[in-house]
Amino acid sequence: MMNIAATPSASPLMSLTQGKAKASQAAAPAQSTTKAEGATSTSTARSADGGKKDFATVAKDARAALDAAYQSFGKTGENGNPIGQNGTTAKEWQNLLSGLDRRSLYAIASNEGGQFNQSEQIGAENLMDKQLNDAMGLDQATAAAGKLTSDMFLKGVRFMDGVSDEEKTSMFWAEKRAGLQFSYEGRSRQEGKEPENVDSESPLAKLIKGGLENLRRTGDPSRQLKDTPEYRQAVQLSEQLKAGLAAKSASGGRAVDLTA
């Protein structure tokens, strides 16, 4: 996964930078028109759990939706020609995934239940990244010109705060949320402004943010986020949070406190 905030000016544009390699491997939906704002699209960062479906059901439904789309495109999908191969186009990717909400996309990206092939996971992850980019107002030209502002990063922070509980147990989410905050704070100070307090209540995001601060203090360019003790602790915590949510879903018990 891309380190989206190694410096205060770093960009979370995975689909426009490192994610471009992923997209080329999987013919990902780089031109998707899916919107990022929770109030304007069903494919949004708004949490879709709300007691409506457990995550296993969300994944099962996403699998069924993918298979139905494969059939409509004349492709056999998982058990035959995986998407991204045999001529699957970006337009087909767009049609395939744009009708799914973000919780469904995360079920695919995280391979919930072991039901999704690598191309499907990459395609879903790229579309999730595009939702974030859209929410921030970022595009290729903006990134290339280095015109990322603190306000863009702040919009990204708020977007990532609105995703599902399942996504918030992942390192995927924690690295992005912490990186966006780190970049927001650094860019605000570069602009001569005092940043708002946007500390996350998530202990997972706090650990990653601590790891980024650790790197900043040491100033050693040879060290990476994954080298920090905070990152290693976060990996363990992520697995604990995932297990807790799975147990809660299976038993119908109370939700896991992600802020504990």
First vs last C-alpha separation in the chain: 26
Question: How much is the average pLDDT of 205-214?
Answer: 98
**Percentage with pLDDT > 90 across the chain:** 54
> Can you give the pTM of this predicted structure?
0.77
Q: How far, in Å, CA of 154 to CA of 5, rounded?
A: 13
Q: What is the pLDDT of residues 33-61, one digit of tens each?
A: 333 333 333 333 333 344 568 999 999 99
Confidence tier at 216 by pLDDT (50, 70, 90): very high
Q: How far, in Å, CA of 129 to CA of 127, rounded?
A: 5
Please give the pLDDT value at position 96. Answer: 82
Please give the pLDDT value at position 89. Answer: 61
Q: How far, in Å, CA of 205 to CA of 250, rounded?
A: 26
Please give the pLDDT value at position 134. Answer: 95
Q: How far, in Å, CA of 185 to CA of 202, rounded?
A: 18
Lowest mean pLDDT among 13-27, 113-127, 131-145: 13-27
SS3 state at 241 = helix
Confidence tier at 11 by pLDDT (50, 70, 90): very low
More confident residue, 17 or 227: 227
pLDDT at 71 over 70: yes
Q: Hey, what are 257's tokens?
A: 């406190």
Q: Hey, what are 72's tokens?
A: 């409509």
Sorted by sequence, the CB contacts under 8 Å of residue 22 that are 6+ apart come out as 14, 28, 122, 125, 126
Q: Hey, what are 130's tokens?
A: 């595009």
More confident residue, 243 or 248: 243
pLDDT at 17 over 70: no
Q: How far, in Å, CA of 96 to CA of 254, rounded?
A: 34
Q: Hey, what are 26's tokens?
A: 């999987």
- The residue type of 28 is A
